[in-house]
Amino acid sequence: MKARPATDGPVLVVGFVGVTMAAIGEFQGDGSVVYVEEPDVVRKRGVRDQIDGVAFVRGLIEWEYHLTGKADEFFNAHPGLAPAAVVPAIEYATPFAARLAERYGLPGAGLGAAQILRDKALLRRVSAAAGIANPASVPVRGPADVLAFLRGRPGPVVLKPANRQASVGTRVIRDPAEVEAAWADCLVQDEGVFVPDRPMELSMLAEQYVEGPEYSVEMLVRDGGALFVNITGKQLFPGAHPVEMAHTVPAGIPQELADLLGAQTSRLVGAVGFRDGIVHCEWIVSDGVPYLVECAGRLPGGGILDTIQRAYPVELLRSYYAVLKGEDPPGELPRRAKCGAAVRFLAAGPGRVAAVHGVEAARQADGVFLAAVTVGPGHRFTGLHHSWDRAGIVMATADSSAEALRRAETAAGMVRIDIEGEE
């Protein structure tokens, strides 16, 4: 791709992610970014207060971007905006951002690709047609459908939404007796302050449970080709809800498997017609075969971006913005990591938080560059159902990813969250 002429227009960042603001400020100039966020989310998260006085922020546009047709409406309402790029910052922003980039003539995923990636049922059909291995999957409308699917095959099944994020509404079912309760459990899909107040369409899938190690591939893509590839290793908390407990970067796997996962992700990029941006594709490897879990057309969450940037090192966030501006990434993108980095999440049992101890000690532990607890006294837990239920995070580096994970786990063990049971 030839670099596009520079523009004084702002970078439109669709979806507010507060934890990335410091990193964005390292390469975006004063007054160069306009956030686009849902009015309900702006209100519930106090977004205006968070961006007030931030040098690189030019403004905030409140817009119901979850809704169909809103990108074209935005384009017609802001014909002179001439943005330099449109960046989807969260999962639900990807179709809007892709369409808006098309309307402004900017690089982006492409609306068709973004819509496929946002719909897990559609992604299954498209990727399977391209020869990519997928678990058996069917749409379900109630417990009877789930029970029929479970009885029709050996082993557990996974009940999950086709249109959600962060493992919301996802559960592994191992026994037919669990189906009724599991269905009721998975219908609780409230993401609180992170989504608009209006309801989201309910769309559920029952899928074959695939046993094996889990990985994600983070790939920076320009014109449909890979510029940078990382493989992340994943571990889950025990229990019926598949919530991620740890990430290791790089994954520490044989090069042959890493190449296979990268090749399958490139194959998926081509299958959906993804053009420009980042994909975060999740896989389970069973008997040497990568099975597609899901794929997102945006930056990875869960601390993966930070660990990638430290392990290689690489300015991946800046490179992502550059690609969506039609520019070359800054410097040569590395092919191999130079050290290891890891994330270990914290969890707490059901009840009310009475006290939190040991956070400062965790911050001082070997290799730790972040230790944070997101709860305090009075916070109530109902159990670990999805990623938003995690209580904190520890991130560490070391010479290898295995040692980085050991350091992160050691530091996580220093943190104690006291829970009081409630009547």
| Position 92 in a domain | yes
Residues 200, 176 share a domain: yes
Residues 221, 300 share a domain: yes
Instruction: Examine the fold and report which residue of 314, 338, 362 is the final residue of a domain before the chain moves on.
Output: 338
Alpha carbon distance 166, 388 (integer Å): 7
Cα–chain-centroid distance for residue 167? 10
Residues 70, 141 share a domain: no
Q: Are 21 and 317 in contact (CB under 8 A)?
A: no
Amino acid at position 222, single letter: R
What is the token pair recorded at 381? 């837990």
| Position 192 in a domain | yes
Alpha carbon distance 364, 255 (integer Å): 34
Residues 152, 216 share a domain: no
CATH label of the domain that carries residue 363: 3.90.1170.50
Q: Which residues are paired to 248 by β-bridges? A: 233, 342
What's the confidence (pLDDT) of residue 294?
Answer: 96
What is the token pair recorded at 118? 């946002």
| Position 396 in a domain | yes
Residues 361, 288 share a domain: no
What's the confidence (pLDDT) of residue 411?
Answer: 98
Residues 322, 265 share a domain: yes
Q: Are 130 and 99 in contact (CB under 8 A)?
A: no
**Peptide bond preceding 107: is omega within 30 degrees of 0, i.e. cis?**
no
| Position 406 in a domain | yes
Q: Is 403 helix (H, G, I), strand (E, B) or coil?
A: helix
CATH label of the domain that carries residue 184: 3.30.1490.20
Cα–chain-centroid distance for residue 84? 24
The closest alpha carbon to 102, from 67, 80, 123, 74, belongs to: 74
Residues 415, 304 share a domain: no
Residues 214, 195 share a domain: no
Q: Are 258 and 248 in contact (CB under 8 A)?
A: no
Domain residues for the domain of 157 are: 136-208
**In 10 A of CB 385, how many CB atoms?**
21
**In 10 A of CB 156, how many CB atoms?**
17
Burial code (b: 16+ CB inside 10 Å, e: under 16) for 19-36 equals eebebbeeebeeebbbbb
CA distances from 146 to 27, 100, 105 (A): 49, 38, 44
Number of structural domains found in the chain: 4
What's the confidence (pLDDT) of residue 388?
Answer: 80
Alpha carbon distance 270, 91 (integer Å): 20
| Position 250 in a domain | yes
| Position 150 in a domain | yes
| Position 130 in a domain | no
Alpha carbon distance 157, 150 (integer Å): 6
Mean pLDDT (10-residue bins), the chain, 423 residues:
61 96 96 98 97 97 97 96 97 97 98 97 97 97 94 89 80 92 83 84 92 98 98 94 95 97 98 98 98 97 96 98 97 96 94 95 98 91 84 97 98 95 59
Residues 307, 254 share a domain: yes
DSSP secondary-structure letter at 358? -
Residues 385, 288 share a domain: no
Residues 333, 236 share a domain: yes
| Position 46 in a domain | yes
Q: Are 312 and 335 in contact (CB under 8 A)?
A: no
Instruction: Examine the fold and report which residue of 61, 87, 106 is the final residue of a domain before the chain moves on.
Output: 106
Instruction: Examine the fold and report which residue of 317, 338, 359 is the final residue of a domain before the chain moves on.
Output: 338
Residues 394, 416 share a domain: yes
CATH label of the domain that carries residue 289: 3.30.470.20
Q: Which residue has the tokens 């269905």?
A: 183
CATH label of the domain that carries residue 27: 3.40.50
